[in-house]
Amino acid sequence: MSRNQLLPREPSPQDGPADDSGCPILHVDMDAFYASVELLDRPELRGTPVIVGATGGRGVVLSATYEARRFGVHSAMPMTRARRLCPQATIIPPRHANYAEVSRGVMEIFKAITPEVEPIASDEAFLDVGGARRRLGRPAAIAQMIREQVAERYGITCSVGVASSKFVAKLASRQCKPDGLLVVPADGVVEFLHPLPVAALWGVGERTEQALVRLGIRTVGDLAHVPVSTLQRELGAAGAHLAALAWGRDERPVVPHTPDKSIGNEETFSHDVDDPEEIRRELLRLSERVAARLRASGHVGRTVSVKLRRADFTTITRSRTLREPTDVAKEIYTTSCELFVAAGLERVRLRLVGVRVENLRPASSATRQLGLGEKEMGWREAEQAVDKAVRRFGPDAVRPASLVQRPFGPMDL
C-alpha cells in the first residue's frame, strides 16, 4: 500500500469528542489546492475530474480534484499517463500567481491565531496552538475555526490533524482528507500508528519499504517490535529514527516561518530544443511567471539565475546579481537571456530551462533609485496592471505581443 492510500478509521456515533488535552500541534493541509483555486473561477467544473498541470508531453500533474484521483491520477504523475487514466478530465494550465495570493491569505489566517506557524509548502503548515488555548479554546475547536474561516474567506476546504507531535498531526490530516478534522489523543498514538502501512513513516521511501517488506515488516506495528539494533544493521542511522517514529516519538518543535530564499519556475520541453529563439520565448514565459509570483508574495530579489539542462541531462546554471532588487519581468528576462548567451548553449539541444530569482527581501523594504531621465511610472506599474487583468480574466488575458505574433530578441518585450 502506498503512502497515499492510508485508510482512515471512521468514527462511530458512540466515540464522542476525542480528548485533545495533550494535542497542541495542528497540521493544516489544503485539499487539492491548485485545483480548488482554479474551480473558484470555473464553478461549472465542480464535481468533475480536473487536472492542473503543463499540457506538454513531458509535463507533470501539479494538482487533481478528487474526482480525477479516483482514476488513479496523482501529483507528480506524468501528464501523458494522467490523460490515459482519465481522458475525460479537464486540463487547466497552472496560474501560480493566483495560488500564491490565496496561500498568503490562508497563512494570514493561521498567523492571526498563533505566531507559531511553520509553513512547509504553499498549501500546508504546522501550528502550535498551545499558547492560544486560553484565548480561543481547545485545539480541536481552533482547528474547526480554521476550517470555517478558510472556507468562508476563500471558498476552498482544508483538512486538519490535531495531535501531540508534528509527525502524528501530519498523518492525521492525511487520514481525514478531504475536508475533515481528526484528533489523535496523546494516549492513543500507538493505537493510531501501529495498523498503518510502514510506508506511512517519514523517511520510508520506495527502496526502504521494499527492504522492510523483505524482512517481513509491513506495518508500523511490525517495525515497532523489531529490535533497534536490527533496524540499524539493515538501514543504518535511519533505523533508530524509524523506531522512534513507530512509537510516536517526535520531539521536533514547530519552527516559525523563515522567509523564502528564492522563487523560480522551470519547464521541460515536449521535445529537445536547439532553436535559440524558442529558448528565449520560454525564458520570457518563465520570467513573467517568476515576476508575478514575486509581486504576489510581496518580495523583490537581486540575483537572477537560469537553469539549462541538455539532452544528455547535463545541467548548467548561471547567475548574476543585479545592482538593485527587482520584481519586474522585463529585467528578469533580459538578464536571463544574457546568461543564456554567456552559457554558450545557443545551438545545443536543451530539454529543460528554468528561471529563478534569489536573495529575496520584502518589497516594502527595498528602495529604488531612478536613473537619469527615467519615469516614475514604468514597467513595474504596467506589470501590476497585467496582474489584475490575469486575476480577473485568466492567464491568457494579457500577453506580450512577442509571444503571439513574432520571434523576438532579448530586449523585445
Tell me the HSE value of 222 on the side-chain side, using a 13 A CA sphere: 15
Read off the C-alpha cell for 374.
527615467
* CA-closest candidate to residue 157, choices 149, 169, 167: 149
Question: Is the CB of residue 217 less than 8 Å from the CB of residue 225?
Answer: no
Read off the C-alpha cell for 237.
542511522
Question: Is the CB of residue 146 less than 8 Å from the CB of residue 113?
Answer: yes
Whether 31 has a binding-site annotation, put simply, is no
Question: Is the CB of residue 328 less than 8 Å from the CB of residue 377?
Answer: no
Whether 29 has a binding-site annotation, put simply, is yes
Question: Is the CB of residue 49 less than 8 Å from the CB of residue 71?
Answer: yes
Neighbour tally for 249: CB within 10 Å: 12
Per annotation, catalytic residue among 101, 124, 267, 331 = 124
Read off the C-alpha cell for 332.
528578469
Dihedral sign, CA of 232, 234, 235, 236? positive
* CA-closest candidate to residue 303, choices 356, 267, 264, 258: 356
The question of whether 374 is a catalytic residue gets the answer no
Binding positions: 29, 123
Binding positions for Mg(2+): 29, 123
Catalytic residues, which ones? 124
